[in-house]
Amino acid sequence: MAAIFSKTHSRLFYGGNFFWSLYRRTRCFPVRLSLYKLAFTHSSATPARAGSHHSNERLEFLGDAILGSIVAAYLYRQYPAHSEGFLTSMRSKIVSRSQLNKLAGHLQLPPLIRQSQKSNSQAKSIAGNTLEALVGAIYLDRGYKTCRWFVEKRLLAPYIQLSELSRQAASSKSALLEWAAKEKRTVRFNKLEEKGKSHERLYEMAVFLDETLLARGQARSKKKAEEGAACAALEKLSLTYAHGNPGLR
């Protein structure tokens, strides 16, 4: 503990405002500030040939896994009598991109993010991705126990209403599929295009309704591209996804 205090004390003077900005948002004393600076560095703010070691992509990968495990354990304790399917659905809702973006907004993470002003790639997911990277940084810096405290006390407890969330569809894709099932319509997703280098692939997915192309979506993963296409499809069909229950506006 004394060692951590000594390191933290020195970071207080060298880290300045960034140190206190982190503490106000996380309520965890950062020790290795370089990890957190990396967590808030989007790939667009790094040189083209710098690689993922100079952006938050690797921390995002780690944070995604850690966050998923903490949320899973949290739900397991909160719902001792519910099925695996229910727990899986609830976890998906909590770690969805839209939910993570909201949580990042609640913590006011966007003002700390370093990104190119010219870049609008993944604009809708940068905040959520940064939150995952922050979780990864806290895990590496302070360990699993502190990371779990941050997720449960700073994210889940104040901002996630489990009773309300249990009534919502897990995603725009889920909402669209539920609507199609009720209306006895057929929905399918197809990949239209895949381009870019191996470390920065861009996927374009299309959603078809009864064999008619309805909408498209682009993202750096097939799953996110499908979600974008489903979101656009709901808009085109004049359906609302409020509270996760698709219906006519």
Q: How far apart are CA 238 and CA 226, in angstroms?
A: 18
Alpha-carbon dihedral 33, 102, 172, 223, rounded to 10 degrees: 0
Residue tagged active-site, from 60, 132, 204, 226: 132
Structure tokens at 192: 């239209």
Strands 202-209 and 187-195: antiparallel
C-alpha Rg value of the chain to the nearest Å: 20
Residue 84 falls in the annotated catalytic set? no
Of 160, 189, 184, 174, nearest to 246 by C-alpha is 174
Structure tokens at 113: 């993010």
Residue tagged active-site, from 64, 204, 226, 227: 64
Alpha-carbon dihedral 190, 196, 200, 203, rounded to 10 degrees: -10
Q: How far apart are CA 126 and CA 124, in angstroms?
A: 6
At residue 237, φ and ψ (nearest 5 deg) are -85, 0
Give the DSSP letter string of 67-97: HHHHHHHHHHHH-TTS-HHHHHHHHHHHTSH
Q: How far apart are CA 129 and CA 104, in angstroms?
A: 9
Q: How far apart are CA 94 and CA 150, in angstroms?
A: 15
Residue 141 falls in the annotated catalytic set? no
Residue type, 41: T
So which residues are the catalytic ones? 64, 132
